[in-house]
Structure 1
Amino acid sequence: MSRYNALGLIETFGIVFVLEAADAMCKAADVDLIGFENVASGYISVLVQGDVGACKAAVEAGIKAVEDMNAEVYSSVVIASPHQDLEKIISRYSLDVLNA
């Protein structure tokens, strides 16, 4: 995670909405999709990484995309300069781990 300055996350309900959010996030800014997590009972979080400005733009675009589908974003955050130990948590949600 050392080459990235920020993490961006959105949580919504349902795979359709989280895919729409992820698509909008990746198209709106120069971010890398880390992965997703089915949190509980249909709540799903999507994680991206990049520089702070890109993550902010990506999260804003993802929120708008979900809201444009008349759905609700339950939570969102941009974490600037995440602590290196967060890698222990987010690596669990990496698409690379899921494809291994």
Structure 2
Amino acid sequence: MPRYEAIGLIETFGLVFVLEAADAMCKAADVELIGYENVASGYISVIVRGDVGACKTAVEAGVKAVQDMEGGNLYSSVVIARPHDDLEKIIERYKIQNLSS
């Protein structure tokens, strides 16, 4: 399993906003979309990983994309550089499974 230098997360209120954020994140930098989670009552988080600079660029682009939407509702965002190995246990839970295999 490759070792990633960072993870980036954005949390919004609503599926449309999180999809816009994820699209902007993946287009803005060389990051891997890990997955998403409907956290509670409509709050949805999206997770990407890659090197620190790419994650920072991706999160900034995703935040801007949500803020530029009418009614865009950004709850929070974060980039975690050099995450502890144990965070992989959490990331695995939210990983998008390949449905074609």
TM over 0.5: yes
Query: Which segments of 5 or more consecutive residues in structure 2 lack a partner in the other structure?
Result: none
SS in 1 for 2:97: helix
Whichever structure has more helix as a proportion of its residues is 1
Superposed counterparts of 1:70-85, under 5 Å: 70=70, 71-85=72-86
Quote how far apart the aligned CAs of 1:73 are: 1.1
Structure 1 runs of 4+ with >4 Å offset: none
What is the correspondence of 1:9-28 to structure 2 with a 5 Å cutoff?
9-28=9-28
Q: Which runs of 5+ in 1 are unaligned?
A: none
TM-score, with normalisation over the residues of structure 1?
0.94
The aligned residue for residue 63 of structure 2 is 63
> CA separation in 2, counterparts of 1:72 and 1:87?
28
Aligned-partner Cα distance in 2 for 1:96–1:83: 23
Q: Give the conservation status (yes or no) of the 8 Å contact 1:2–1:84.
A: no
Scaled by the length of structure 2, the TM-score of the pair is 0.93
SS in 2 for 1:4: coil
**1:39-72, CA deviations, whole angstroms, 9 ceiling, x for partnerless residues?**
0011000000000000000000000000000312
Q: Whole-Å Cα distance in 2 between the matches of residues 96 and 9 of structure 1?
A: 18
Q: Across the two proteins, how many residue pairs are aligned to each other? A: 99
Q: How does 1:42-57 map to 2 (within 5 A)?
A: 42-57=42-57
